[in-house]
Structure 1
Amino acid sequence: MATVLEQVHAALRLKSRALDDNEITPLIEACKADLRMHGVRRVDETDPLIARAIVLYCKAYFGYDDQGERWQACYDGLRDSMELSGDYREEDV
């Protein structure tokens, strides 16, 4: 399975790793912080829904295309669903 960074690269259609440290990785970390701020406590990058949320967040904020608002709405919906789900409200022990 591809790492979340690889998934973001594929979704943004990036071939170079030049932006990883200054752009992509900070976006991934910002997404994880946003998820936690909204009540998602189990933020595991290997979870398919968490990985999808990160990809959507990056597409919204990276400037991937002129559809940032669309990607943001998709992210918000997924994040809110996870926030309400008991599966994501408690950290794994």
Structure 2
Amino acid sequence: MANISKQFVYDVRRYLRISHTHFDAEITDLIGAAQADLLLGGIKAAKVEDESDALIKRAIVCYVKAEFGLDNADAEKYRDSYEMLKRHLQLSNEYIEEA
């Protein structure tokens, strides 16, 4: 797995509406977990590691928003969004590994 860039962590932090860096380690871990889950789902490594891919980025953001923090009233909504995006990616020949 490629390194997660500081810019990508910054972008995800913005989606969480956090301006400080106190939680960057947790955010980085969650990004890595999302990437690992996408890989386990059969998404191409090159796509998973492409931080500029809008669909991959959106899926990762949904995953992080679902899992970030302890009291997250919207966790289930974001978890469902992540799973839906992952299913769509799994149905696309552009995103899945060759069988």
**Which of the residues 52, 55, 61 maps onto 1:49?**
55
Q: Which of the pair is proportionally richer in helix?
A: 1
Report the equivalent of 1:58: 64
Q: Deviations over 1:42-64 (max 9, x none)?
A: 21121010111111000000037
**Larger RCO (alpha carbons 8 Å, 6+ apart):** 1
User: When the two structures are superposed, what TM-score results if normalisation uses the length of structure 1?
Assistant: 0.86
Distance 1:54 1:80 in 2: 13
* Structure 1 segments unaligned to the other structure (5+ residues): none
Is residue 2:84 matched to residue 1:80?
A: no
TM-score by length of 2: 0.81
Count of matched residue pairs: 88
RMSD (Å) for aligned C-alpha atoms: 1.6
Residue 18 (structure 1) aligned with residue 25 (structure 2): no
Which residue in 1 is equivalent to 2:3? Answer: none
Aligned structure 1 segments of 4 or more residues deviating by more than 6 angstroms: none
1:60–1:72 Cα contact (<8 Å) kept: yes
What are the ranges of 5 or more consecutive residues in structure 2 without an aligned counterpart? Answer: 1-6
